Amino acid sequence: TVGGRQVQKSASSRFMDVVQELGGKDPAYIREDADLHSAVAGVMDGAFYNAGQSCCSVERIYVHHSLFDEFVEQATQFLNNLKIGDPMNNSIDMGPLGQKSGINNVKYQLKDAAKKGAKFLTHPGPVPEGKNYILPAILTNVNHSMDVMMEETFGPIVGIMTVKSDDEAIKLMNDSPFGLTASVWTKDAEKAIEIGNQIETGTIFMNRCDFLDPALPWVGVKDSGKGCTLSALGIQQLTRPKGYYFKLIH
């Protein structure tokens, strides 16, 4: 976001449009009527795919209190079953982080969360030999005073909070400087639309996450950016209209 503001400032003197996709802290909400099996598989894959190094990775999860314990139990099983190692091996689920700075950021957020009372559920390991490997983890007993729930992580850790209602989930999902994507896991499509209309993000998913469709615009709001890519609207962002005003003389 800091770099994006610098680009915007530089471009402003040239009367040129700028389309930017910046940071993200994408939430997932597991409603009380969610299919728990598919929700756990989808959300945890969204959190740990590419070791969390995705602009739209799931970085915070809100679970209805009636499903919380079972969700955490199944999510922990998913975590423990991840195969970590060389990503060129097709049997591997998660490889290393791209940069040493990514590991440092994850360690900083874990340290901050631990100091503020979070509980860790960490992959049993071992850590593979090689550079930039780190064990993925789930954090519970988290809250929005912790960087892990507020600042972009871009790594394989995710916080899970319990909520009592849709209203509480919406409030927490919107309590972020970022707004790229959000997912709602429910059997009720009308309710997903109702919730989606109140969420401050460019994309709303129902029963899936971390996915692109070239036919749909990809949009960031708040500190996640401006303008859009993909879809016909994304093409229009790269064009400038030109008017032809003709008077025909016969």
Which of the following is catalytic: 55, 56, 209, 228?
Answer: 55
21 is catalytic: yes
CA distance 78 to 91: 15
State the DSSP H helix or E strand holding residue 101, giving kind and residue range, or none if neither.
helix 100-115
55 is catalytic: yes
Residues 6+ apart with CB under 8 A from 101: none
Q: Do the Cβ atoms of 204 and 27 come closer than 8 Å? A: no
Strand 178-179 to 181-185 pairing: unpaired
Q: Which tokens go with 172?
A: 């927490």
3-30: burial string, b at 16+ Cβ within 10 Å, e else: ebeeeeeeeeeeeeebebbbbbbbbbbb
Nearest Cα residue to 56 out of 190, 194, 197, 230:
230
Q: Which of 21, 59, 151, 152 is flagged as catalytic?
A: 21
**Residues labelled as active-site residues:** 21, 55
